[in-house]
Structure formats: C-alpha cells, structure tokens
Amino acid sequence: MGLRTESESRLSFGAADLAVGLGTLALLYVAARVGAESLVKFRPPDVIPTISLDPRNLPNYAARSTLRMFLALGLSTLFTFVYGYAAARSRRAERVLVPLLDILQSVPVLGFLSITVTLFIALFRGSLLGLEAASIFAIFTGQAWNMTFSFYQSLRTVPAELNEMATLYGLSRWERFTRLELPSSVIGLVWNGMMSFGGGWFFLAASESISVLNRQYTLPGLGSYVASAIAARDLHAIGWAIVTMVILVLLIDQFFWKPLVTIADRYKLELSAGEERRFWVVDLWRAASLPALFEKILGPSISSVDRLLSRLTKVEPQAERKSTSKTSDSVFNTVVAVIAAGLFVAAVRFVLSSVGVAEVGHAALLGLATAARVVALLVFSTIVWTPIGVAIGFNPKLARLTQPLVQICASFPANFLFPFATLAFLRFGIHLNWGSMLLMALGAQWYLLFNVIGGAQAVPNDLREMATSIGLRGFRKWRFLIGPGIFGSWVTGAITASGGAWNASIVAEVVSWGNTTLKAAGLGAYIADATSTGDWPRIVLGVGLMSLFVVTLNHIVWKPLYRLAQARFQLS
C-alpha cells in the first residue's frame, strides 16, 4: 500500500539503507546461486537434468525461471532500442525492418526452437549453458517483438513541435534520443514490457520442456514442472505450481513493475501536473542514501560518456527521412525485392519438392481456420477491454487498485490452466475447434488491454481538463478525446495481440492431459505436429504460411491504420 504523506514516506537513514542494502545483497546472492546451477555438465542422453514433482523444489524452480525471464527481458530491451530506433529514423530501414518484424512476430516459439536448440547445444558442448541459452532465446522471442512495435510507434508519433524544438536547439542524435524520444516512449514501453514479460511466462513450458526433432530436452523450472505434472496427471502438483506462480507474479509486480510504472508516469507529455503517483518501494529507494552515494561515485563517468556520445553523433536534420533521392530509393527497393523474391522462390521449391501442392492447399485451409479465430479474438478484445483499459488509464487510483489484478491475469501463464480446460472440454463434450478460441484469448487479449492502458495514461492532463471544462461526455468524449488519444496505442496492441494469437495457436490448438490429446483444425496444430516429429518440410510450410497470413494482414489492415494514427491522431 502506498505511503500517503511526506512525513510517513521519510524513513530513518539506517532503516532505509538497511532495507535497500540487504535487499540488493539478497537479490545478487540468489542470482549468483541460481546462475551457478547452469554451470553443470549436460551430455544427453546419459547426463541430463531431471524434474521432481516434490513441491519443496518449487522455490528453486521459480528462481531459475525468473532469472531466465529477466535475462530475456534485458536482451529484449536492448533489441528494442536498436531495432525500433533504426526502423523509426531511417525510411529505407523501415521498409525492411517493419515487415521483417511482422514475420518474426508470426514465427512461433517452436519454430525458433527447432532451429536454435541444436545450435546452442553445439556451441556450449557438454554444458547445460547451451540448453539455458536456447531457453532464454525462446523466451526472448516471446517478449521482444511487442516491445519493439511499441517503441517504434512511440518514436513515429512524437509531437511535431517537440521534434522542431530539438532541431532548433541543434540536438545530436544521442541527445535527441535521451532527452526527447526515450522519455516520450517510456510509458508505453513500460506497459508493453510488462505485457511482454507475461508473454514470456506463457511460453515458459515450451522453452523449458523442449520437444523438437523427436528429442526431449528439459530444464529445471516452473514451466517444465507443470509439463511433467500434466504428463503425470498430477492435479496437486499443478495446484502448487499455480500458487507459486501467483506469489511470484505479485512479488515481481511489487518490486519491479509498480516502481517502474510510478517512475514512468513522470514522463507524461503535459503542461499541467496531474495527480502524482506514489509507491512505497520508490519512497523507500528515495529515502535511502545508498543510491545517492552510487550516483555520486558513478555520476562523473556517466556524464563523460554522455558528452562523448553527444559529440560523436551528428545533429539530425528534421527532414532526414525525406532527403534521399528517387533514384537511390528505386535501387534500394529493387535490391530488397530481388532478395525477398529469391528467398521466397527457394522456400517454395523446397516445400513443393517435399510435400506437393495438395499439402500446401490443405495447410492454407488450416491457416484460414486459425485466421478466423484470430479475427474473432481481436473483435472480442476490442469491445471488452478498450473501455476497461481507458477507465484504468484515466484514473490513477483505479490503476493502483486494479494493476495487481491485471498484472496477475496478464502475467499468469494461461497454459497452466489448459489441463483444467482440457478436463472441462472432455467433460462437457466441447470440441477444441471452439475451445481453442478461449485458450488463445487467455494468452493474447492482454496485449490490447495493456496498450490501451498505456495510451490512456499518456493522454496529457491538459486535454482531459479541457474536455471536462467544455462539457465533453459520452460518445463525443470518445470521438474527440479518447479515441484519437489512444488510437495509436490501440493499433500497436491489436498488432501484437494478433501476433500473440497466432503464436498462441501452437499450444492452444493441441492440448493434452496425460495420454489424452485434443486437436483443433488449424495451422497451429499443424506446426506443433510437424515440430514434434521433426518434419522439416511441413515445419517450413507451416511457419511460412503463418508468416504470409500475418504480413498480408499487416499490409491490408495495420499499415493503413498506422498511417492514419500518424497523420490524424498525433499529439501536436
């Protein structure tokens, strides 16, 4: 519960520093202890990790899974800054990177695992680090794309006046990034990071209990614990895992995400100050003298690096994205088109020579079935979660009350509940063709909710006050304030929810309980079957078709909506 007053938030020097110091040391100790457990031998099939369903092992498994999640989050953040910045600041790079990001988002985690597991195991031969690296990379693929889309969208919709001011003052690329672009994107980035972290939990079982190319690899962790419990039909073990997961999500929310949301709220673009967010962890951190001591020690070095990067990066002209010639653009487009066509022809020849035209047609029909589920999910999520997200984003008190619940729902891996859903489907005779839509929604609808919340929180308080003063209510308020204010964030959320739904179809269209397996007619089930048997032609066909569906949807629907968001609904 947040501390309300200045006097209540002030802690004594000793108490605040003791709490911060002990907490930091404990965190470093756990990370080192858990990390050391990865430095063991791994020589399948003789020397491999084993999973015990004893609940007393759950704290260790939870710590190992959490470390993988945060390492993947760090890599995702770095990737987001580099990839998103390149796509937003270079028109040529944008033409390649944005469609490529759509393809990467559409490739299921199992598709990446099929390629990377053997590579990482060979790279770290004889060590469990290889399997750990493959698992972290798989979690990374469940986090990075959503964060990158959010960052890219934020950079492309920075208010024009602020861009003009940055140009007027002659800010270098580094100064523009650190003083303008990063602060402008921090709210959406934090909320999407939170959502992406939840997406990583969703694919935890797939990344820790890996079944590819007719081989089974297992890493100790919460995901592999649940996978083993499902195989053993042990509801008690699944129950203990769910309790552990809820506790873990609450702890991460209290000590990581809530402080970040509190700090990010300071970077809202507005002229008049709204209600200041307060949270006890942030108050504790500010009351301690250790952070100030570290800042005093490291501050001069950080300032020197900042000045050096400012000098090394050029001053960016405002019209740089439009300065290239038509001839060079044509050459660039031709080269990209030739490379893309060559890759496409090679993939088509490989697939047709292996499976034939009839198999391609069959897989395409399965893709249409999955696409129908994705569209239904997007419509449902928009109708249900957009007004809820706006209500949360516009009301700081409501956000404080509901954020833990929203965070639990979004971060809790929905596939932990799949065994219970499977039992319900069997009990009531519900075919998975219908039931899989519910399972996909459990894993993907939160992308849209989190983006809408972030977009609503980013609407300047000045505009809200003006809307209130002129009496905007009901439909008119949605038309002139809320809709335009959150439209860009909604587009980002819909794109990532769509990609998340396609990815979730891999685990939602095939569910099992012990030896009982239910399958839906869809492209996700097709890819899952091909991956488990190591059928490379069908893996390539399934992943290629899924990417084709996503890219087609991007060009027909999402790209025009992005242009609309930039042209008509940009804060200026």
Rounded distance between C-alpha atoms, residue 200 and residue 413, angstroms: 8
Of 7 and 258, the one with more pLDDT? 258
The average pLDDT across 308-336 equals: 66
Half-sphere exposure of 406 (CA within 13 A, CB side): 27
Nearest to 136 by CA among 84, 78, 70: 70
Mean pLDDT of the chain: 81
Residue type, 21: G
pLDDT digits (tens, 9 = 90+) for 152-184: 988 887 877 887 888 887 788 888 888 888 888
Concatenated DSSP letters of 292-315: HHHHHHHHHHHHHHHHHHHHHSPB
The tokens for 569 are 């609904």
Q: CA-based angle 217:249:450, to the nearest 5?
A: 100
**Residue given tokens 């991956």 in the structure block:** 531
pLDDT digits (tens, 9 = 90+) for 236-279: 999 999 999 989 988 998 889 888 888 887 777 655 555 567 78
Highest mean pLDDT out of 258-267, 372-381, 408-417: 372-381
Strands (E), 134-256: 209-212, 215-218
Nearest to 486 by CA among 545, 571, 381, 407: 571
Q: Which domains does the chain have, with CATH numbers?
A: 46-268+291-316+332-568 (1.10.3720.10)
Predicted TM-score of the model (pTM): 0.79
Q: CA-based angle 114:119:125, to the nearest 5?
A: 130
Rounded distance between C-alpha atoms, residue 468 and residue 477, angstroms: 9
The tokens for 494 are 């819909």
* Predicted local confidence at residue 55, as pLDDT: 92
Rounded distance between C-alpha atoms, residue 20 and residue 291, angstroms: 9
- pLDDT over 90 (residue 370): yes
Ramachandran angles phi, psi of 517, nearest 5°: -125, 130
**Residue given tokens 């500010």 in the structure block:** 286
